[in-house]
Amino acid sequence: MIKNHLINSIYRATEGEGVFLGRPQIFVRYQGCAIGCLNCDSKDTWDFSEEMGQSLEMIMEAVHKVGLDGTIKNVSITGGDPLHPSHVPHVMALVKLLKEKKYYINIEAAGTRVVDEIFDLVDYVSFDFKTPSTGVKTPVKNITKMIAQYPGKFQVKAVIANAEDFSATLSAYKILESQNFGMPFPWVLTPCFNTNEVFPLDRFKQVLTMNEESGGMFRVIGQQHKWVFGPDQKQV
């Protein structure tokens, strides 16, 4: 097991996507991810770089400081993949301490696994549904498990790059519907906004239209931070 928390960055920013859009929070971004999404916009977080190790005390101090000396009490644990097995014991220790200090904790989950020991402790889970353009797969049974175990405590987010991505997301929805699960959680479509491209207005409109024409069961929410700061800007 890696001895320390591998940390890419700890910073304050306004949430740019999903159901917490517009909410200031502190991001604790773990370093290290082995999932390999093709359209990942955080490839700098992939390496498990031991030299980026920090102690729990260092992280808590940074969270307090960037959160304006404890004024901001919302934390989002992200990555990288904070649910990679080598991170899990560290993330659990961090979550327990943050909860003692009364922080509200969201964790960004890649959708490839349900990690009960962490999901039981946090306040909210942002669970990815990986679409074909990512080259990774989220089994629908993972969402079924989330519905059964974490009602009211999670959103699902799917990055949509094209019609195939939308179709795959709709198929997953139909499977859940056929199992009588309906949609008891917010399912957010994030129109893909790649680094090094200008705002993809046509893609965004296409996603809006596909959602409307299919019954409008999803919520289309773009990545506001990329509009404001540019798609390449980090720590925003």
Q: Is 169 in the site for ligand SF4 (CB under 6 A)?
A: no
Nearer to ligand SF4, 42 or 206 (CB): 42
Which residue's structure tokens are 């949430």?
15
Q: Is 33 in the site for ligand SF4 (CB under 6 A)?
A: yes
Stretch that binds ligand SF4, among 36-44, 49-57, 164-172, 216-224 (CB under 6 A): 36-44
- How many helices, marked H, and strands, marked E, lie in the chain? 7, 9
Site for ligand SF4 in 109-168 (CB under 6 A): 110
The distance of closest approach from Cβ of residue 69 to ligand SF4 in the complex, given in angstroms and rounded to an integer, is 30
From candidates 31, 45, 76, 126, binder to ligand SF4 by CB under 6 A: 45
- CA–CA distance, 141 with 123 (Å, rounded to integer): 22
Minimal distance in Å, beta carbon 111 to ligand SF4?
A: 8
Output the smallest distance, CB 70 to ligand SF4, in A: 29
- Residue the block writes with tokens 């101090």: 61
Name 143's Cβ contacts closer than 8 Å, sequence gap at least 6.
127, 129, 156, 172, 176
Number of residues that bind ligand SF4 (CB under 6 A): 11
Burial 155-177 (b: 16+ CB within 10 A, else e): bbbbbbbeeebbebbbebbeebe
Instruction: Kindly tell me which residue out of 7, 10, 35, 156 binds ligand SF4, with binding defined by CB under 6 A.
Output: 35
CB of 68 to ligand SF4, least distance (A): 27
* Among 161, 156, 153, CA closest to 128: 156
Provide φ and ψ at 69, rounded to 5°: 55, 45
Q: Which of residues 75-104 bind ligand SF4 (CB under 6 A)?
A: 79-81
The reply on whether position 37 binds ligand SF4 by CB under 6 A is yes
Where does residue 68 fall: left (phi above 0), alpha (psi -120 to 50 degrees), or beta otherwise? left
Q: In the complex, which residues of this chain contact ligand SF4 (CB under 6 A)?
A: 33, 35-37, 40, 42, 45, 79-81, 110
